Structure 1
Amino acid sequence: MWAMNVEKYWEDLNVLHINREEPRAYYIPYADNESAYERKRGRSPYYQTLNGSWKFQYHPSVNTVQDDFYKEGADVSGWDHLIVPSCWQVNGYDQLHYTNVNYPIPCDPPYVPNDNPAGLYVREFNISGQWDGKEKYVVFEGVNSCFYLWINGAFVGYSQGSRVPAEFLITPYLRSGRNRMAVMVLKWCDGTYLEDQDLWRFSGIFRDVYMLAREPVHIRDLFNRQQLSADGRQAELRCELDVTGQTDVRAELQDAEGRTICEAQARIDGKGVLKLEVEEPTLWNAEQPYLYSLYVTGGKEVLHISVGFRTVAVQAGVFTINGKAVKLKGVNRHDSHPELGQTIPVHHMIKDLMLMKRHNVNTIRTSHYPNDPRFLELCDAYGFYVVDEADLECHGVLRAGDFHMLSKNPDWQPSFVERAVRMVERDKNHASIVMWSMGNESGYDINHIAMAEWTKSRDASRPVHYEGAAPRYEGNPNTECLDVDSHMYATVDYIEQYARDERSTKPLFLCEYSHAMGNGPGDLKDYWDVIYRYPKLMGGCVWEWCDHGIRTETKEGVPFFAYGGDFGDKPNDGNFCIDGLVSPDRKPHTGLLELKKIIAPIRIEADCLEEGSMTITNLYDFVDLSHVSINWKVEKDGQIVEQGEIANIDTAPHASQTVTLPYRLPAASSGRYLLTVSCRLRRDTLWAEAGHELAFEQFKLPVAEAGLPHNRATGTSSIQVEREGAQVRVIGFDFEHAFDLSTGTFTGISKQGVPMLQAPAAFGIWRAPTDNDRNIKHKWMEEGYDRAVPHVYRADITEQTEQAIEFTVDFSLGGYIKRPILHGQSVWRVDGTGEIAMRVQARVREELVFLPRFGLQLTMPWGTEEVEYFGLGPHESYIDKRHSTKRGKYIMTVDEMFENYIMPQENGSRYETEWAVVSNEQGMGLKFTAPEAFSFNAAHYTPEDLTAATHAHQLVKRRETIVHLDYKMSGVGSNSCGPELLAPYRLDEKEFEFRLTIKPLFKEDE
């Protein structure tokens, strides 16, 4: 058992820290304005990093820790080296473990397992002689989950609360020359019950560690409160100061160009206020993130705080910024790096933010804890609205049978409230933060109310949100302390009902919606059609930004991204951490492209396509469209015939403007004319280059259909039919097909002796379940959808002439145990050109749930690698996930059709395909057409291959090409966590007919 001579604080609710400094605003002191402006920590003479290599020793249990490891004479020469900051699990220590709701330990708060893993850190460091006479502090910006600190063998203090800073005064423990610091980090503490977020459970000193040298009397804290006049033309900045004694303090406010706007100074003793008045302030918003620089000088120290003047308020049930209704077009973002875990380098933060800006995201919810303070500085500068969330989630108590177990227990109230206090005090000066969040999925009762009430008393300038107070959780009904109603995964119908309910007086925030796991989400447009319609709906944050895969490799050295269970971790939630809009290495999924299109800041609508008249609506809240050019092109059957640009648009925010595109249309044509209108940046920005596309729309132009050119293949060539038992050979001038009457399908298709069918054609209804099928797939499998095979009742030659032959087949599809899923009749007609016309009529059993798909599967031979089609592209599309695609003619390889999801699943389908050709590189293959657009896919994997694999690296690429020609494919939705697939997107028809034509061809002869 515990043998060290320090107290066992980690299970004591009465001890949240020992000797830790009071929380304060984040800053680094500098020597002058210039270095403070640059924000390069290492250029400050008052800053010294402790990042780097530390001696490290891991213990599976704190009970085996030697009592003297922290003492000055302790020999640590044989210990390992570990880079700080880092998470020790990604460095080979302990157990990589992913779990969502369930606690990884027995639910017995505040107690944790006796065998509590510990990481011991030791390093030596020097103190600069220039620091003589100064007070020295050490700052740990993030340590999971609690830690003890010693310097030169003396106990300094203790802290818990993983993702907010812990600062200690260390002057009394230091000496000139060499010093030794020792830290013991424990994996679990009573705070673990409040940190049950949906993530990999990492441990260690995972954020920066540094020392600060301060004047004996210095500015300890500052809070920049601002007051704007009603018309926004005057601003008062109240700099509330907390000084450790008495000193002269000077404040200087500079604009973005470095010009001094105003100054103030005073002698402050303890607490005081400096007031600065600003005339005609430029206001900050996410579209124009204008920042002033406030330099506060006390003694020899200069603190630089960026100031963005803006107001955030709820007015008449509407969320506003600077008095204007704003829609939050957001994502939830965890700290997640594929190699470093929760240790996030600054360049990685910037990469995330630039990707978000390029995809029209304007809001980030820091799910579910405060991020690195430098991330917020970047959000201020790049322009994002941030919902800053307290490091609080106790979801695991749900499994213990009482979701409000901790939130209603007054013994836990100090722990709850402190997490709000430390977040607010650290982040209070950031313009980007527009809402405080009291945590996530922790029930709701007196402790949350205490958090919210403290937050509002400290900072009334921002609304307070907490989703766990939603009525469906049946907790404490007192929600007066919350300023918005928050919901997760509410249905589209629900949010519309809320918006229309006059009793609902608060704006509705979808803190999580449209679960982006795997091939999805598929319901974004449905949400945003409603959100735009009602002012009371303030928007929301898609769950979530990135897949949390851990980059690893198999024993054979094959790299892959791992998820829950891949390291033997129990309990685990499998691939539920693979649920983002981008991959772990930040490659956008098609779901992110869909989000970009749906939340685009510009709407393009056709007024009169004959005349080229368009209405451009500016959906920005604060900027006009002078930064945008309109590029347009007219294509005939995929070939550009005209294009142009309009650069002089200046549509005001929330206004519309009519523009005329000067294209010319023929009176009639045998071709199809499409107009694509694209809105692009006119100049470079911080996050994208000139020419970056913000929004687009596509229209079919009204050109009358002229007579089609004469087709030299008349279909009058004669055919020869040879039959041997059930095998029928249809032989024409340059083709030979084989039909098997016993199986009711084609077994061979060829042209000029080139075989184009490797296996019998087959009807199919199964698709490899997407992550969003995780619920419905059980009903599918219960009814045998995954094992459906055909049964042929009758197959006959029902017509035969010199020019054509027709086969009629009565069949069913069904799996063992269950009755047939559907009955159908297929009619196949072959004419003298070798073209196969198929017509199938199907009747689905009445009581069954909707089908995944219905269509024809063809297996084409090795070498069939080229795909050309006219339809939606260039990436995958589904009935409910297609708005980011453009209609046109595309040519690509089979591999390029494939979307490589970490968990293999249905992917790569092309919705509304009009025709497709799958061929070898010489153009020898099959062309598919239909009277109605169809869904089409070509891959080197069958649905069964994708279903069986749990990771992409397990897929074995087939030499053959598997082609799917679907009457319809059900949508993808977001039901991995969100609502069920909407009815219009289900293949729920009980009777339907599908027509398709298959034509063998050599493209060079067409």
Structure 2
Amino acid sequence: MIAIERYWENPEQLHVNREAPRAYYIPYGDTASAKRRKRGQSPFYRTLNGNWKFQYRESVQGVEERFWEDGADVSGWDDLLVPSCWQTNGYDQMHYTNVAYPIPVDPPYVPDRNPAGLYVREFQLGAEWDGKEQYAVFEGVNSCFYLWVNGEFVGYSQGSRVPAEFRITPHVRPGLNRMAVMVLKWCDGTYIEDQDLWRYSGIFRDVYLLARDKAHIRDVFNRQSFAEGFSRATLSVEIETTGSVRATAELRDAGGSLIAAAETDISGQGAMSLNVEAPRLWTAETPYLYELTLRSGEETLLFPVGFKTVTTDGGVFRINGQAVKLKGVNRHDSHPTLGQTIPVAHMIEDLQLMKRHNVNTVRTSHYPNDPRFLELCNEYGFYVVDEADLECHGIGMAEDWKEGSFHRLSNDPAWKAAFVERASRMVERDKNQPCVVMWSMGNESGYGHNHIAMAEWTRGRDRSRPVHYEGATVGYKGNEDTSSLDVESRMYASLQEMERYGQDPAQVKPVFLCEYSHAMGNGPGDLQDYWDVIYRYPNLMGGCVWEWCDHGILRTAANGQSYFAYGGDFGDKPNDGNFCIDGLVSPDRKPHTGLLELKKVIAPVRFEAEDAARGRVKVTNLHDFIGLSHFALHWKLERDGELLRQGWYDALEAGPQATQVIELPCAWNEQTDGACDLTLSCRLNADTAWAEAGYEITFEQFRLGDASASSGGAGTVGAAAGNGGAAVRLGAAAVQAEESGGVLKLSGLDFSHTFDLRQGVFTGISKNGVQLLAEALRFQIWRAPTDNDRGIRSAWEQEGFQRAEMKVYDAAWERQTDGTVAITVRFSLGGYIRTPILQGEARWTLDATGAIRLRADIQVKESATHLPRFGLELAMPAGSESVEYLGYGPHESYIDKRRSVRRGKYRTTVDGMFESYVMPQENGSRYGTEWAAVTNALGMGLRLEAPDSFSFQASHYTAHDLTAAAHTHELKPRKETIVNADYRMGGIGSNSCGPELLPQYRFDEKAFTFELTVRPVFAEDE
């Protein structure tokens, strides 16, 4: 092995020759180019991004050659694009793990077989940089690295996700230069970078050179103070220099007008004050930015200035004195092909999607993001909880969570400097970013003296922002002293816990749900419940859903299909499977329905009926700082999905946190219109940076009148159903019935059905000779478990829900006096080993139109846990692709996940009902369906109706197909269409990591009755 110091196993040796951390900026030659923020246009910036010569070594111990020397031949090495992650380029091992360390837990030691990446890059320096101080900046390298320039050792750094800057002036020369870097996969810092993510390595963020004046501004801290009532702001510009400079400061407003200016000589430390009368304040709703220009020598530095205050006095989180709710998400750096290397365009895509879905807060879980991400947050308007690159979750697991194990590193004095540096490098880099409203001392790392030291250092450096750390939560404290923390923080707290906190007058800090409502797979299903409580209490400041995106890795299967891989798909051990697939959007940023639900629940406008029948609606503005003048309201009146009238209302004017009552000219008349739906759509009335005029922010829907008094808007068949499904067409005769060998053949004018008395169900349904069933009907209680079912799945499987079969005790039929035929079946559903899950009596009644009415009276055994579902499953023939239904749409909905859908008549396809989750699971159900029809292209099919609404689903996969598949490419669509009409479908919740499904959403009825009509239809019948 080459003779280099083993800095990577010494927690007290965090760097060698690295510059002290400073505020983020790029020096430019003039103000105009600084305003454009195009780094490459600065004469003092030189990118080192691009192709580097690269060699991957399985162990640093195998690196024996002095590859950094000028004469070292690397021409035969690979080319690797920088920035990038090794693993996404085919080197080393793709590896996902959440808590468990991927190495033996023996801090500060790491395996001797420590993979290394060797990088070499040549670059030219022109004469224009002669006489300048020259620096190399690495914005992100995982996990530690050694740097050489022209054969000379420059320095060492660890701390993966904050910049490392080195002065290289003594080592460079005019003309050709050579830079060499050795990156190690693991170091002692790995123990405090145990975040829930793919374990990437390499130079994954930008690398560049800076040329600086010999005496230049090194660091800037823009501190703010205000006169009472924000009548005046004072910007104190604290400056650190490398020598004696003449510094000029100019503060301009967003329109470019000069507001204040100052000039002074500074040598080492100095400050200038700039006063602003009646400043415009920065918030996420009003992201107004001033521009501070600092000039010294040939350099121009530009800083955004957003005047604001952040306080927690009285246990309430306030921005500029106004109580604010943080409506946030947790966001990892994650790209489906680039890993943790995130292009600026991808950052913009994320932020635009968030704005379009009413998100106002980002927690940078669990490390500082690229500084350009924060600049974008300044401009788009987001509150940022900036989190230190610190997590040692697995330290407790390594010792089976024995008492004190989780706090081992956080209480170890040898690690104090490493902990504090994780905070200081973040704070110094981001202290001037207006969007940062709270500092976070990391994540899931126990709690001890080292955390207290971090928090105290942070508060000593920046008193303008609160300090947060969830690890100090009551329940697993390592130290009872939380005085250095400004908020209480919780993960996945139950609603009961939040209620207790909100009601407790002794609580003097606001509580922040840094993680809640786990969005994994088909979920979350408890958002409205959380926000009902959050809005109720001033000391509940909101929180961040876990999490923003699925961390899937794009791959191509052997069958040519693309899919997203997760833990274990690369042979990685240990791994946490698909636990990285837990976001509101897919890896390629397609919103899941959970994001649509979040958008509705946290919408900035609320509508309530004052007298909706007369168009009187109460509008509440939930914005904290702006009115509603940027919105227009579109209204429409529909009867069972058919449009009657519509119009616009553009006089929304309620101020922040205020209400107004509006009157819409909807002119509804129950006698002529019948039962109707009044839908209000709140839309942007002008283009923004993130959406065009007309984009819908939120909606509300009101039911007018009694549905039972409807004027027949459901159509002819719907009206017949209202007569018990027994309407007889002209010329229809009694049902013909003939039993042979246990099979009952039933026929009429244009239908022929078959009922197998031994199976207890219909095995054939046809109309005009067209067979509308591909298989026998069946009762179904199983659903493909969602990720949020993982807590209850074992109980379901132990009870045999997934293997339940029907046992027929007896079946009998009879002709009735009205010409119908009734079949009564006593049955049970159960699986081997266990006693029957449920028993019931099904009464099937067939009328002369061919309609089949089912009444099932069910008794569930007392010991059974709550059911996934109960309903009727029908397999329809190939070609049954068209779907129409009256109910809630246009996307999937469940009893606890339905705020984002609205009542209407929807036309779609079987594939259009499918929601694709990276790991297949229950999806696509429509809660509150009143009737549904599934037909072929000619309109031939089955119509389902019920006296009470039901959950409806049509798919090319059975529940067992979805259960068996681990990835989307493993699904093989059936030609048949599988239709489910459920009396009830259990709720979704967020129990993949959060609390158990709330009782009101569990399907735990022990006795119930399900009624459904199955009617063969042709298009002309409608």
TM range (shorter): over 0.9
Q: Contact 1:637–1:671 (CA<8 Å) still a contact in 2?
A: no
Counterpart-to-counterpart distance in 1, 2:997 and 2:933: 31
Which of 611, 618, 623 is the equivalent residue of 1:620? 623
Aligned to 1:448: 451
Aligned to 2:279: 281
Counterpart-to-counterpart distance in 2, 1:823 and 1:482: 57
Counterpart-to-counterpart distance in 1, 2:777 and 2:19: 73
Provide closer, same or farther for how the CA distance between residues 707 and 551 of structure 1 changes in structure 2, counting only shifts above 3 A.
closer
Aligned to 1:720: 736
Q: CA deviation at 1:799?
A: 4.1
Counterpart-to-counterpart distance in 2, 1:913 and 1:400: 50
Which of 950, 954, 969 is the equivalent residue of 1:953? 969
Task: Note if 1:647 corresponds to 2:661.
Answer: no
State the SS of the aligned residue for 1:349.
helix
Provide closer, same or farther for how the CA distance between residues 827 and 119 of structure 1 changes in structure 2, counting only shifts above 3 A.
same
Q: Contact 1:5–1:67 (CA<8 Å) still a contact in 2?
A: no
Task: Note if 1:472 corresponds to 2:475.
Answer: yes
Which of 732, 749, 762 is the equivalent residue of 1:746? 762
Which of 249, 253, 256 is the equivalent residue of 2:254? 256
Q: Contact 2:557–2:969 (CA<8 Å) still a contact in 1?
A: no
State the SS of the aligned residue for 2:1016.
strand
Gaps of 5+ in 2: 400-404, 721-725
AA aligned opposite 1:1005: D
CA deviation vs aligned residue, 1:656-694 (integer Å, no higher than 9, x gap): 001100011234247531110011111011111101111
Aligned identity (percent) is: 63
Task: Note if 1:488 corresponds to 2:491.
Answer: yes
Q: CA deviation at 1:792?
A: 0.5
Task: Note if 1:882 corresponds to 2:885.
Answer: no
Counterpart-to-counterpart distance in 2, 1:707 and 1:65: 83
Counterpart-to-counterpart distance in 1, 2:371 and 2:613: 54
CA deviation vs aligned residue, 1:566-609 (integer Å, no higher than 9, x gap): 00000000000000000000000000000000000000111002
Aligned to 2:563: 560
State the SS of the aligned residue for 2:633.
strand
Q: Contact 2:140–2:161 (CA<8 Å) still a contact in 1?
A: yes
Task: Note if 1:431 corresponds to 2:446.
Answer: no
CA deviation vs aligned residue, 1:811-866 (integer Å, no higher than 9, x gap): 00001000000011000000111110100011111021100000000000111000
CA deviation vs aligned residue, 1:868-926 (integer Å, no higher than 9, x gap): 00000000000000000011000111000000111000000000000000110111011
Aligned to 1:326: 324
Q: Contact 1:85–1:205 (CA<8 Å) still a contact in 2?
A: yes
Counterpart-to-counterpart distance in 2, 1:476 and 1:14: 23
Aligned to 2:309: 311
Q: CA deviation at 1:161?
A: 0.2
AA aligned opposite 2:393: H
CA deviation vs aligned residue, 1:41-77 (integer Å, no higher than 9, x gap): 0110000000000000000100111331111100000
Task: Note if 1:529 corresponds to 2:532.
Answer: yes
Task: Note if 1:920 corresponds to 2:923.
Answer: no
Q: Contact 1:748–1:759 (CA<8 Å) still a contact in 2?
A: yes
Counterpart-to-counterpart distance in 1, 2:8 and 2:831: 56
Q: How does 1:58-207 map to 2 (within 5 A)?
A: 58-207=56-205
Aligned to 1:268: 266
Provide closer, same or farther for how the CA distance between residues 773 and 1001 of structure 1 changes in structure 2, counting only shifts above 3 A.
same
Counterpart-to-counterpart distance in 1, 2:30 and 2:906: 58
Counterpart-to-counterpart distance in 2, 1:707 and 1:179: 84
Aligned to 1:580: 583
State the SS of the aligned residue for 1:906.
coil
Q: How does 1:699-714 map to 2 (within 5 A)?
A: 699-702=702-705, 705=709, 713-714=727-728
Provide closer, same or farther for how the CA distance between residues 297 and 961 of structure 1 changes in structure 2, counting only shifts above 3 A.
same
Q: Contact 1:681–1:689 (CA<8 Å) still a contact in 2?
A: yes
Aligned to 2:797: 781
CA deviation vs aligned residue, 1:931-976 (integer Å, no higher than 9, x gap): 1100000000000000000001000000000000000000110000
Q: Contact 2:605–2:619 (CA<8 Å) still a contact in 1?
A: yes
Q: CA deviation at 1:722?
A: 1.2
**Larger mean Cα displacement after TM superposition, 553-562 or 127-136:** 553-562
Counterpart-to-counterpart distance in 2, 1:723 and 1:667: 49
Q: Contact 1:795–1:807 (CA<8 Å) still a contact in 2?
A: yes
AA aligned opposite 2:996: E
Aligned to 2:402: none
Which of 843, 846, 851 is the equivalent residue of 1:827? 843
Counterpart-to-counterpart distance in 1, 2:793 and 2:559: 33
Aligned to 1:762: 778
Aligned to 2:659: 656
Q: CA deviation at 1:511?
A: 0.1
Counterpart-to-counterpart distance in 1, 2:811 and 2:510: 62
Gaps of 5+ in 1: none
Q: How does 1:790-805 map to 2 (within 5 A)?
A: 790-801=806-817, 803-805=819-821
Which of 986, 1001, 1006 is the equivalent residue of 2:1017? 1001
Counterpart-to-counterpart distance in 2, 1:276 and 1:670: 65
Task: Note if 1:539 corresponds to 2:542.
Answer: yes
Q: Contact 2:675–2:711 (CA<8 Å) still a contact in 1?
A: no
Counterpart-to-counterpart distance in 2, 1:796 and 1:413: 79
Counterpart-to-counterpart distance in 1, 2:12 and 2:665: 74
Aligned to 2:999: 983
Aligned to 1:217: 215
Q: CA deviation at 1:800?
A: 4.1
Aligned to 1:810: 826
State the SS of the aligned residue for 1:78.
coil
Q: Contact 1:719–1:802 (CA<8 Å) still a contact in 2?
A: no
Tell me how many residue pairs correspond in the alignment.
Answer: 1004
Counterpart-to-counterpart distance in 2, 1:673 and 1:988: 33
Aligned to 1:243: 241
Aligned to 1:461: 464
Aligned to 1:27: 25
Q: CA deviation at 1:79?
A: 0.1
State the SS of the aligned residue for 2:104.
coil
AA aligned opposite 1:343: T
Counterpart-to-counterpart distance in 2, 1:806 and 1:66: 87
Q: Contact 2:52–2:121 (CA<8 Å) still a contact in 1?
A: yes
Q: Contact 1:669–1:706 (CA<8 Å) still a contact in 2?
A: no
Q: CA deviation at 1:713?
A: 4.3
Aligned Cα root-mean-square deviation (Å): 1.1
AA aligned opposite 1:714: V
State the SS of the aligned residue for 2:515.
strand
Q: CA deviation at 1:14?
A: 2.0
Which of 752, 757, 761 is the equivalent residue of 1:736? 752
State the SS of the aligned residue for 2:613.
coil
Q: CA deviation at 1:489?
A: 0.2
TM-score of the aligned structures, taking structure 1 as reference length:
0.99
Q: CA deviation at 1:274?
A: 0.6
Q: How does 1:671-686 map to 2 (within 5 A)?
A: 671-686=674-689
TM-score of the aligned structures, taking structure 2 as reference length:
0.97
Counterpart-to-counterpart distance in 2, 1:778 and 1:331: 30
Q: Contact 1:826–1:838 (CA<8 Å) still a contact in 2?
A: yes
Q: CA deviation at 1:801?
A: 4.8
Aligned to 1:48: 46
Counterpart-to-counterpart distance in 2, 1:242 and 1:780: 64
Q: CA deviation at 1:503?
A: 1.6
State the SS of the aligned residue for 2:233.
strand
State the SS of the aligned residue for 2:598.
helix
CA deviation vs aligned residue, 1:428-486 (integer Å, no higher than 9, x gap): 00110000000000000000000000000000000000000001113211100000000
Which of 10, 13, 19 is the equivalent residue of 2:11? 13
Q: CA deviation at 1:640?
A: 1.3
Provide closer, same or farther for how the CA distance between residues 412 and 707 of structure 1 changes in structure 2, counting only shifts above 3 A.
closer
Q: CA deviation at 1:754?
A: 0.5
Counterpart-to-counterpart distance in 2, 1:799 and 1:784: 37
